[in-house]
Structure 1
Amino acid sequence: METQALFESVPNFSEGRRHDVMEAIAAAAGTAYLLDTDPDPDHNRAVVSIAGRRDRLVEGLMGAIGEAVRRIDLREHRGVHPRVGAADVVPIIPIGGATLADLGGPDLHLTAGAVCVGARRTLVAFNVTLFDIDLVGARALARSIRESSAGLRGVQALAFELPGSRVQLSMNLFRIDETTPSDVIAELERRGVAMGAQQVVGLCPAIAATPAADGRLLEGRLASAAADAGGDRCESRGGDEHTALADRLRREAAGFARLVADQDAMLGGAERAAALIHVLDAAQVLDGELSAMLEAAARGLRAAVTPATAGVYRARIDALDARLA
């Protein structure tokens, strides 16, 4: 079976308060696999994570963007985050070896604004609440840690004042092979910055995950969506064995969705994702798309296992690597 090219997209919609609107936008993604919806009422913005093969993803994006255009009027929008459109930015991320070109146009829609569509590498959107600092100081801090100001590599940063006199440092970490959330926290601690809650916006690749990403691992959600789809297919086939397997797959899906950024949990998740490829194949419900999702999940979780953990579980690692070879 040929594994299909797989893509993720994380469109940012300018609505984070009206739950009925956010639910309608996510539902309109249609055939794409919905991995996550993450609204922020202060920013009045929601990040929706979807995945699938090229045609499935494009169809899902068109449905969700169309719903956003119908339901969001930027003339009435209020929120601390800058925006240019109802479907504000639509990044598309290859999960595999595919490449994409940027798209664009010069005209603005009267009520929906613009849609910024492009291809990029995986990034982590990471926010930190700051204490004992005002907005002016927070903006100076944001400027100082940006890559463009000779700060941390792969960091874009803004500062926002949130309701309740809270100040937030909002960052995109776009070179996660060089700067992870842990690196940012270490730098802020080195500078003596007083910090509160940490927040991952959307999903986080396991290799860059901290406890702030517990239950929000990209690979966990990919495996969850694949297991859930496999359960649906088993149920549609009918029969006692397929029905029992459907129940098991739905339990697996729930477990993958809750996967935490812990070494033992991520190794176990990698093993289970790799094993499910063979389970779905034996049940005759596997296709190239589900295989790609589970393989991406297993490989991503395996990559997050540190050498120290691998040394402790050498036999398990060798067996997993052989299965993924």
Structure 2
Amino acid sequence: MLSVPNWSEGRHPQVEELAREAMAAAGVQIHFNEADPDHNRIVTAFSGNTNQVRAALFQLCDTLLPLIDLTTHTGAHPRIGALDVCPFVLQQQDGMTETDALAYVEAIASAFAEMYQVPVLLYEKSERGRHAKDLPTLRKGGFEAVQGKEIPADFGPNRPHPRWGVTVMGLRDPLLAVNAVLPIEQYELAHTLARVIRNARDADPRFHGIRAIATRLPEQCVSQVSMNFTKPDETSVNEVVQWLASRGAKVLRVELIGVVRESDLAKGSVLDYRPEQIVAP
């Protein structure tokens, strides 16, 4: 089982070290562990057997949640919770059916909500028909938009936690999280290109299933077109980056956030990645 929890803390000086220690204590394979001060976010990714993955997640919760207070949190990345989104991805080696995996994720969601008193919204394959299933819709308006409102929680309280907000959790298919990094002075162009991709994602096969936003990162003096390739078997990172360049973008590098399957690398040769980010299908 693979999990890629995203946490709303990227400025604590020891956050990466603390997260790595928490994951290592559970015995999982660590694929990714990077904080970003502009986004004020750390993305973790790890895999292992179901007991190890569950243990790693709760170790991380005990370690990172006390560091986070969304009432004072600022950052470039959209967020609705301290543990903002927690996807699980079933791998072929797990020997589980999708039905078993869905039950596994629901058990974790229930335990998390009860332990930390944070409402959980199930998304993607786990969503039960009670609310939207896609992350952008569930997270629209961020933490501030849900204050004082009832939440159609699948687990936990029906109001957001005062410091930790709401967590989105569920089983999903593999995706690629990619940042095309541009000079900071090209932020307006990045914004325009991200909008074009969003508007064309249903009609243009090059952009099928791609979610895109633009961000400005002043600490790093760059801007980004941040993209989630939700249908990586049907789209090409290389082709999209070539399109960005053809529209005037000066692409400095193409970051992979999280993990990649080996089968995605042929169409993603422009990606900047490390060997540990490659995961089993």
**Pair in the same fold by TM > 0.5:** yes
In 2: Cα distance, 1:153 partner to 1:194 partner: 23
Shift of 1:50: 1.0
- Once the 2 structures are TM-superposed, how far is the Cα of residue 134 of structure 1 from its aligned partner? 4.5
1:76 aligns with 2:72: yes
The 5-angstrom pairing of residues 193-272 of structure 1 reads: 193-209=249-265, 210-219=269-278
Q: Greater Rg, structure 1 or structure 2?
A: 1
Paired AA for residue 215 in structure 2: F
Tell me if the contact between 1:126 and 1:201 (Cα under 8 Å) persists in the aligned partners.
Answer: yes
CA deviation vs aligned residue, 1:63-114 (integer Å, no higher than 9, x gap): 2123222121112222111111111110001112542436532431111111
Structure 1 position 153 matched with structure 2 position 205: no
Contact 2:6–2:43 (8 Å) recurs in 1: yes
Residue matched to 1:47:
43
- Cα offset, 1:153, TM superposition: 0.8
Distance 2:250 2:186 in 1: 12
Does 1:23 find its partner at 2:17? yes
Amino acid at match of 1:116: V
Look up the match of 1:180.
Answer: 236
3-state secondary structure, aligned to 2:14: helix
Q: CA offsets, 1:180-230, max 9 Å, x none?
A: 3212112223434332222111222222232533414533xx6xxxxxxxx
Gap regions ≥5 residues in structure 2:
110-120, 122-152
* Matched letter for residue 172 of structure 1: N
Shift of 1:56: 1.8
Bigger shift: residues 206-215 or 8-17: 206-215
Query: 2:256–2:273: 8 Å Cα contact kept in structure 1?
Result: no
Identity %, equivalent residues? 31
Encode CA deviations 1:19-46: one digit per residue, 9 max, x unaligned: 3233223322332412321222221111
Q: Secondary structure at the match of 2:211?
A: strand
Q: Determine which of 223, 227, 241 is the counterpart of 1:167.
A: 223
Distance of 1:197 and 1:92 partners within structure 2: 28
Aligned partner letter, 2:2: E
- Counterpart code for 2:43: V
Aligned pair partner of 1:89 in 85, 88, 92: 85
Structure with the greater relative contact order (CA < 8 A, sep ≥ 6): 1 or 2? 2
Give the SS at the match of 1:17: coil
The counterpart of 1:121, out of the listed 173, 192, 201, is 173
TM-score (norm 1): 0.60
Specify which structure has the higher proportion of helix: 1
Q: Please state whether the residue corresponding to 2:164 is helix, strand or coil.
A: coil
Secondary structure of the corresponding residue to residue 71 of structure 2: helix
Query: Does the CA contact (< 8 Å) of 1:203 and 1:216 recur in 2?
Result: no
Output the aligned Cα RMSD: 2.4
Whole-Å Cα distance in 1 between the matches of residues 85 and 264 of structure 2? 23
Give, as a single letter, the amino acid of the residue that structure 1 aligns with 2:238: S
Asked if the contact 2:181–2:224 (Cα under 8 Å) also holds between the matched residues in 1, the reply is: yes
